[in-house]
């Protein structure tokens, strides 16, 4: 594993082990962690000691959470020489932890304390926490509905995209018929499909699945096609010399060699499908994060909108992290070659 990938959190267990040994050799107190802990304690002091312009129910809970994070960072900063692996992880994220602590303090000042960012368009951290506490049952149901809808669309999209990309990359006949259609529908935004979806699909759920599948399937198709077409002829020649059939060439030569491209398509499809999720849930679904955003916007409850966006960002980040784990396991035989 290269030094470039060693600094990344998805670098794998061996990378972290090597990094932890390097950190153990470095030793010393993690001073940036201590500064980050002080920043979080500053945010807690601003939250609790500075009166709010408006009443927020969760001000003290937010201050307690910020104090806990600040004390935790101070403690880990002092103990980091004796905690090589956690110390390494925290050293990597230290600048972000410092920026977040200062960001929370500035967020408090700009919203709850001075009102530079006025209500109802902006809410302080305690306003977001109020939404999570008061409306968590509805948010939980929306998370489940959105994940089910997105998972269904993403599965069909990437499966069909992989098959089409393989066909285009391998067969000139398939490329002749599919390429023009792909170039035609690829740039069309999701909103433009809504009238056709209402007419063609019998239910709003199937129409929403189609939009998400389209958003995720096109990047997978293009990148799989590119990966298959990029395989060197020398690989095929060697396999044919050993008596390989066309099926063997596709499944054992072309597809494995194209997997790094396929995973790029999977990542691009994941981001695209998440962006389309809000549009897909405009078709008449009864619950979902996109539906919740539309509902909250109608009532000018922008704190609810911001809370939902935070949930969507965390869900998307978690899925990306999961996909990186799958990629590392699937492409373990190409370790050192894949550098992203």
In tens, the pLDDT along 28-40 reads 777 888 899 999 9
DSSP state of 219: H
For 254-268, the pLDDT digits (tens) are: 999 899 999 999 999
DSSP-assigned letter for residue 286:
S
Q: What is the pTM of this model?
A: 0.81
Spatial contact of 169 and 258, defined as CB atoms under 8 Å apart: yes
Residue 18 has pLDDT above 60, yes or no: no
| Residue pLDDT, tens place only, 270-316 | 999 988 888 888 777 778 898 899 899 888 899 999 999 999 999 99
Confidence of residue 186 (pLDDT cuts 50, 70, 90): confident
Instruction: Tell me the backbone φ, ψ of residue 289, rounded to 5 degrees.
Output: -65, -40
pLDDT of residue 87: 62
Mean pLDDT of the chain: 85
| Least trusted range by pLDDT, from 10-24, 70-84, 158-172, 230-244 | 10-24
The pLDDT, as a whole number, for residue 85 is 57
Digit-coded pLDDT (tens) for 39-61: 999 999 999 888 888 888 888 99
Residue with more model confidence, 81 or 118: 118
Give residue 19's pLDDT: 47
pLDDT band at 4 (very low <50, low <70, confident <90, very high): very low
Q: Which of 21-25, 91-95, 165-169 has the lowest mean pLDDT?
A: 21-25
Domain 132-330: top CATH class: mainly alpha
Segment 229-237 long-range contacts (CB within 8 Å, at least 24 positions apart): 229/169, 230/257, 230/258, 230/261, 231/257, 231/258
Proportion of the chain above pLDDT 70, given as a percent: 88
pLDDT tens digits, one per residue of 142-152: 999 999 999 99
Which residue would you say has higher pLDDT here, 22 or 102? 102
**Is the bond preceding residue 120 a cis peptide, omega within 30 degrees?**
yes
């Amino acid at each position: 594993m290269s030094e470039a990938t060693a600094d990344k959190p998805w670098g794998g267990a061996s990378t972290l082990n090597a990094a932890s040994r390097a950190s153990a050799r470095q030793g010393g107190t993690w001073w940036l962690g201590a500064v980050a802990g002080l920043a979080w304690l500053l945010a807690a002091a601003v939250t609790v000691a500075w009166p709010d312009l408006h009443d927020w129910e969760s001000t003290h809970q937010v201050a307690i959470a910020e104090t806990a994070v600040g004390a935790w960072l101070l403690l880990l900063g002092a103990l980091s020489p004796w905690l090589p692996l956690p110390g390494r992880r925290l050293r990597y994220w230290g600048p972000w932890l410092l920026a977040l602590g200062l960001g929370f303090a500035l967020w408090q000042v700009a919203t709850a304390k001075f009102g530079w960012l006025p209500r109802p368009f902006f809410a302080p951290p305690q306003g977001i926490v109020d939404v999570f506490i008061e409306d968590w049952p509805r948010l939980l149901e929306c998370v489940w509905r959105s994940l089910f809808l997105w998972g269904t669309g993403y599965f069909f999209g990437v499966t069909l995209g992989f098959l089409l990309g393989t066909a285009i990359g391998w067969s000139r006949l398939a490329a002749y018929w599919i390429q023009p259609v792909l170039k035609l529908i690829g740039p069309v935004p999701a909103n433009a499909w809504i009238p056709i979806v209402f007419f063609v699909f019998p239910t709003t759920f199937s129409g929403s699945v189609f939009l998400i599948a389209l958003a995720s399937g096109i990047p997978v198709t293009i990148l799989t096609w590119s990966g298959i077409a990029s395989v060197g002829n020398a690989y095929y020649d060697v396999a044919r010399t050993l008596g390989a059939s066309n099926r063997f060439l596709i499944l054992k030569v072309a597809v494995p060699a194209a997997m790094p491209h396929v995973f790029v398509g999977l990542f691009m499809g994941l981001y695209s499908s998440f962006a389309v999720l809000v549009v897909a849930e405009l078709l008449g679904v009864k619950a979902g994060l996109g539906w919740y955003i539309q509902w909250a916007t109608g009532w000018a409850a922008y704190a609810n909108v911001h809370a939902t966006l935070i949930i969507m960002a965390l869900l998307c980040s978690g899925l990306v992290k999961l996909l990186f784990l799958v990629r590392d396991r699937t492409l373990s035989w190409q370790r050192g070659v894949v550098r992203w």
